[in-house]
């Protein structure tokens, strides 16, 4: 699979970077092979934040108390930026606010409270994830395509298949604590033209030359702004989340879980598919970091199959604001440290910063809880992954 993105928005006068290709078989890939293509995300340009919350101490990544400060603000369904500095006072330390709101209040011991951290747009799921996982995956049919390669007619993918691909896309974002993005008719139309182009030439490329059969400037431009796969649109969503062959970027996964994702479109011929993903600036109140596998429950079935697993491609953390280049990762389970290798990922593939960490000598198992701690960053990151079996 390949995934790419060249955005029209300006970020330090640099374009959003392309994401890579997952090639299975490798012969489906164009000459550039599995290399990620495109320029990275620019870091310039800040967005205007919404009104500040009530000042006080920062909330932890999972909404837990963190030291002194007054009582936190109430959770907000839309998240938001943290509060401004609290005033000096003599009150006792209070509790931090929920994960969706900036925390606030009077600082302890006459000291001013620290500013609240950014709120998230959606909390991680709680309770049994299996019911949602099974319901959203009850029908994984790739549907039908009514186009024609010989006539260079893009046609359409059946509405049911498009809805299924979008449902899976939304499921993964939900599990990561992210709001869904809209699937648009225009996005589907563009992705379908891209899928025709890949099918007509029997390979994938983010930069298809004008000599390609069924080439149009629009379909070529869409290819540069899409994830590409030698398979149907539905099955490719799962493949993008495992993301084999992209060890330096995990770009497909990062785009599905991106704060920068404006909308999504799907196009498929059954043989090849494109997942169109136009970019935007991360909105105010966007999640400060996103992990996969995520905090909370995750089915062991989401870790892949014998062919390729998350343990092989890597657990990941991405952020638009936290530099992860020098981060250290600790994983604990049953009171014992689980060794991992840590690799900083290339910038600009759905997020400004990212890392992956891979198990060394152990395999993720259902019924286990893994506590992840990341240090060496501007803010510590801690979360727990509870792996469950959803047969």
pLDDT computed for residue 305 by the predictor: 85
Q: To the nearest whole number, what is the mean pLDDT of the chain?
A: 77
Structure confidence by residue, pLDDT tens digits, 185-208: 999 999 999 999 999 999 999 999
pLDDT for residue 178 is more than 60:
yes
Tell me whether strands 328-333 and 369-375 are parallel, antiparallel or unpaired.
antiparallel
pLDDT for residue 97 is more than 90:
no
**Mean pLDDT, range 26-34, rounded to an integer:** 35
**Mean pLDDT, range 3-12, rounded to an integer:** 36
pLDDT computed for residue 1 by the predictor: 61
pLDDT computed for residue 126 by the predictor: 52
Question: Model confidence at 27, in pLDDT bands (50, 70, 90)?
Answer: very low
Nearest Cα residue to 112 out of 64, 67, 65, 61: 67
Nearest Cα residue to 231 out of 138, 161, 128, 131: 161
Tell me whether strands 265-268 and 315-319 are parallel, antiparallel or unpaired.
unpaired
pLDDT for residue 18 is more than 70:
no
pLDDT for residue 28 is more than 50:
no
Share of the chain above pLDDT 70, in %: 68
- Distance between CA atoms of 227 and 245, rounded to whole angstroms? 13
| H or E stretch at 328 | strand 328-333
pLDDT computed for residue 307 by the predictor: 87
- Distance between CA atoms of 291 and 29, rounded to whole angstroms? 29
Question: Model confidence at 15, in pLDDT bands (50, 70, 90)?
Answer: very low
**Mean pLDDT, range 56-60, rounded to an integer:** 33
pLDDT computed for residue 47 by the predictor: 32
Question: Model confidence at 66, in pLDDT bands (50, 70, 90)?
Answer: very low
**Mean pLDDT, range 368-382, rounded to an integer:** 97
Q: How many helices (H) and strands (E) does the chain have?
A: 7, 13
Structure confidence by residue, pLDDT tens digits, 303-319: 998 889 999 999 999 99
φ, ψ at 57 (rounded to 5°): -80, 155
């Amino acid at each position: 699979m390949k995934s790419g993105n060249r955005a029209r928005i300006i970020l330090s006068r640099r374009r959003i970077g392309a994401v890579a290709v997952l090639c299975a078989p490798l012969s489906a890939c164009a000459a550039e092979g599995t290399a990620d293509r495109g320029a990275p995300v620019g870091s310039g340009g800040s967005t205007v934040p919404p009104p500040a919350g009530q000042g006080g101490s920062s909330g932890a990544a999972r909404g837990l108390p963190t030291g002194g400060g007054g009582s936190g603000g109430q959770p907000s369904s839309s998240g938001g930026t943290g509060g401004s500095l609290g005033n000096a006072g003599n009150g006792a330390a209070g509790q931090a606010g929920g994960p969706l709101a900036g925390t606030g209040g009077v600082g302890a011991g006459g000291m001013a409270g620290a500013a609240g951290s950014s709120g998230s747009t959606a909390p991680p799921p709680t309770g049994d994830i299996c019911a949602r996982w099974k319901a959203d995956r009850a029908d994984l049919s790739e549907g039908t395509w009514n186009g024609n390669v010989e006539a260079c007619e893009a046609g359409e993918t059946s509405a049911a298949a498009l809805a299924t691909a979008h449902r899976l896309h939304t499921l993964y974002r939900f599990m990561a604590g992210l709001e869904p993005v809209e699937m648009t008719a225009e996005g589907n139309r563009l992705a379908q033209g891209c899928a025709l182009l890949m099918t007509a030439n029997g390979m994938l490329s983010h930069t298809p030359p004008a000599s390609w059969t069924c080439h149009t400037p629009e379909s070529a431009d869409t290819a540069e702004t899409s994830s590409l796969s030698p398979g149907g649109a539905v099955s490719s969503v799962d493949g993008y989340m495992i993301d084999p062959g992209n060890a330096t970027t995990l770009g497909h996964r990062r785009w599905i879980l991106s704060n920068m994702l404006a909308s999504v479109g799907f196009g498929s011929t059954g043989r090849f598919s494109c997942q169109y993903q136009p970019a935007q600036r991360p909105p105010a109140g966007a999640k400060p970091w996103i992990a996969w596998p995520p905090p909370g429950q995750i089915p062991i079935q989401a870790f892949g199959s014998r062919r390729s697993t998350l343990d092989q491609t890597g657990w990941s953390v991405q952020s638009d604001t936290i530099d992860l280049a020098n981060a250290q990762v600790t994983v604990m389970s049953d009171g014992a440290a689980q060794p991992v290798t840590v690799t900083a990922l290339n910038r600009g593939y759905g997020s400004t910063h990212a890392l992956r960490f891979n198990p060394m000598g152990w395999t993720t198992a259902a019924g286990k809880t893994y506590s992840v701690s990341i240090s060496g960053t501007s803010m510590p990151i801690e979360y727990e992954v509870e792996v469950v079996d959803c047969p």
